[in-house]
């Protein structure tokens, strides 16, 4: 059974699927079951460049940055998207990124506790939580 907002990846073609509505069936792509992804939350390299970080600005806006050291956005290594999810899972913001952009998402305001997820083209799914 799938759960709302879970992410699944095809190990053959790389398709990435986020569940919108829960269902009883199994997600299949390229003839095999898709793999559920779990967001990592700790870099082993010492410099945190994958875990999303929340920063409340003086103007009240909330900025989600990928990494305490901003993640590179090169042609061969970049963040594909950043997504924020409210604690009740009813408010979701998604921003697609491409090389050359900054690995950031700006929200007009932070409404309660949030989880941020981002997907690195080389290192997969990462997540972090706001205070």
Q: What percent of the chain has pLDDT over 70?
A: 95
pLDDT band at 54 (very low <50, low <70, confident <90, very high): very high
* Torsions phi, psi for 19 (to 5 deg): -75, 125
Q: Which residue has the tokens 């967001």?
A: 39
Token digits of residue 124: 């997969």
Q: What is the mean pLDDT of residues 37-51?
A: 79
CB count, 10 Å around CB of 83? 22
Q: Of 60, 53, 68, nearest to 114 (Cα)?
A: 53
User: How much is the CA Rg of the chain, to the nearest whole Å?
Assistant: 15
CA distance 1 to 122: 28
* Torsions phi, psi for 11 (to 5 deg): -75, -10
Domain borders along the chain are 7-37, 52-129
Q: What is the mean pLDDT of residues 87-116?
A: 93
- For 52-129, which CATH class? mainly beta
Give the homologous superfamily in CATH for domain 7-37.
Answer: Desulphoferrodoxin, N-terminal domain (2.20.28.100)
pTM of the model as a whole: 0.91
């Amino acid at each position: 059974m799938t759960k709302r907002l879970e992410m699944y990846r095809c190990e053959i073609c790389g398709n990435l699927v986020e569940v919108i509505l829960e269902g009883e069936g199994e997600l299949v792509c390229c003839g095999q079951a898709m793999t559920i992804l779990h967001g990592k939350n700790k870099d082993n390299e010492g410099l945190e460049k994958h875990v999303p970080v929340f920063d409340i600005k003086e103007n009240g806006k909330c900025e989600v940055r990928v990494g305490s050291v901003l993640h590179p956005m090169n042609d061969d290594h970049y963040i594909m998207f950043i997504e924020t999810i409210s604690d009740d899972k009813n408010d979701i913001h998604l921003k697609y990124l491409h090389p050359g952009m900054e690995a950031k998402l700006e929200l007009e305001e932070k409404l309660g506790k949030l989880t941020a997820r981002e997907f690195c083209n080389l290192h997969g799914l990462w997540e972090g939580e706001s205070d």
